[in-house]
């Protein structure tokens, strides 16, 4: 082999090795290390009022975001950057490094626990049905939807509601998945869907936006397993961050300061976790 080419090849190999090592050392700095170093925390969320949304001023809003910002401040940082995305892009975006922390009010579910590390629950939320004013098909349960051949149920792509409907026997052909809350409302208003389902907070927000054209189905009968526990999520490699985050979150939940912060969004003591259900238990459920 030509000596010059050999030495050049060796040099290139060494340079490549150093580049990989340097990249690895930069990537190895976890979220907790970066928070302690004063670096910006990028927060991923979707437009799901009142949980998390971008307000008219272009700022992060919603009670899940408010609590997260307060907890991060208790951890010593106010340097945050919000990244608005569609619900279905939250976990892929987290893994792709677009953001560091998901604050979308995501339910803690076993399938998600395999992909991300969740905080302890920050809230407990019940399911509800949104129907056209007068509830013309008389839909008050998932069984009603299952048994009515003309009933199409709309919900968000990737929402836990998709699993609830399937478990209750609603066929996939009559489960419509759309990208966000605005699309859910439009599906009902346009008649493409006869009922929408998600948490009661999200559905009440759409009632307010529907200006009398939609309402909550009353009464609504839902099995116990549809009660959802929301948490914050990070990459599984950031387990040390979640441990530190949990310490501050659990100390903050239920305080007068916290309740005053979330009260304008409708969150009250009824939505507070009582500590009887942990993230470990929720992740183990089948």
pLDDT of residue 59: 96
139 and 267 fall within a common domain = no
Q: Would residue 24 count as lying in a domain?
A: no
Task: Give the pTM.
Answer: 0.84
132 and 221 fall within a common domain = yes
- Cα dihedral 281, 98, 206, 123 in deg (nearest 10): 30
**d(Cα 96, Cα 182) in Å, to the nearest integer?**
26
Q: Would residue 98 count as lying in a domain?
A: yes
pLDDT band at 25 (very low <50, low <70, confident <90, very high): very low
In terms of DSSP H, where are the helices of the chain?
3-27, 31-36, 63-74, 90-95, 110-113, 142-147, 160-167, 181-190, 200-210, 239-252, 256-262, 279-284
Q: Would residue 12 count as lying in a domain?
A: no
Q: Would residue 239 count as lying in a domain?
A: yes
148 and 216 fall within a common domain = yes
**d(Cα 276, Cα 252) in Å, to the nearest integer?**
17
Name the residue among 156, 158, 150 with its Cα closest to residue 191. Answer: 150
69 and 85 fall within a common domain = yes
pLDDT of residue 285: 87
Q: Would residue 133 count as lying in a domain?
A: yes
68 and 100 fall within a common domain = yes
Q: What is the pLDDT of residues 133-191, one digit of tens each?
A: 999 999 999 999 999 999 999 999 999 999 999 999 999 999 999 999 999 999 999 99
Q: Would residue 264 count as lying in a domain?
A: yes
pLDDT band at 17 (very low <50, low <70, confident <90, very high): very low
pLDDT of residue 29: 82
Q: Would residue 13 count as lying in a domain?
A: no
Percent residues over pLDDT 90 in the chain? 89
The more confident residue out of 92 and 25 is 92
Average pLDDT of the chain? Answer: 91
Confidence check: pLDDT of 213 > 70: yes
Q: What is the pLDDT of residues 223-247, one digit of tens each?
A: 989 999 999 999 999 999 999 999 9
If one counts the domains in the chain, the total is 2
Q: What is the pLDDT of residues 106-136, one digit of tens each?
A: 999 999 999 999 999 999 999 999 999 999 9
**By residue range, what is the domain housing residue 263?**
31-124+229-284
Find the mean pLDDT for residues 261-273.
95
């Amino acid at each position: 082999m030509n000596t010059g080419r050999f030495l050049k090849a060796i040099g290139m190999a060494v340079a490549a090795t150093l580049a990989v090592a340097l990249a690895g050392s930069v990537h190895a700095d976890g979220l907790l290390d970066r928070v302690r170093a004063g670096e910006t925390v990028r927060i991923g969320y979707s437009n799901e009022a009142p949980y998390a949304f971008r307000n008219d001023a272009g700022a992060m809003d919603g009670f899940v975001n408010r609590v997260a910002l307060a907890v991060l401040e208790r951890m010593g940082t106010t340097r945050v950057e919000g990244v608005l995305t569609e619900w279905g892009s939250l976990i892929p975006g987290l893994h792709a490094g677009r953001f560091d922390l998901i604050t979308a009010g995501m339910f803690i579910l076993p399938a998600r626990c395999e992909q991300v590390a969740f905080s302890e629950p920050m809230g407990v939320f019940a399911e509800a049905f949104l129907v056209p004013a007068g509830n013309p098909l008389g839909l008050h349960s998932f069984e009603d939807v299952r048994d009515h051949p003309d009933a199409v149920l709309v919900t968000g792509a990737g929402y836990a509601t998709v699993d609830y409907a399937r478990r209750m026997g609603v066929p996939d052909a009559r489960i419509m998945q759309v990208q966000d809350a605005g699309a859910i409302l439009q599906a009902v208003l346009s008649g493409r869907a006869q009922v929408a389902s998600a948490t009661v907070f999200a559905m009440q927000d759409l009632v307010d936006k529907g200006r009398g054209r939609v309402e909550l189905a009353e009464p609504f009968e839902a099995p116990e397993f549809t009660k959802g526990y929301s948490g914050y999520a990070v990459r599984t490699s950031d387990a040390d961050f979640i441990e530190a985050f949990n310490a501050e979150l659990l100390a903050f939940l239920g305080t007068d300061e916290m309740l005053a912060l979330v009260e304008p969004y409708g969150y009250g003591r009824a939505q507070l976790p009582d500590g009887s259900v942990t993230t470990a238990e929720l992740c183990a459920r089948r």
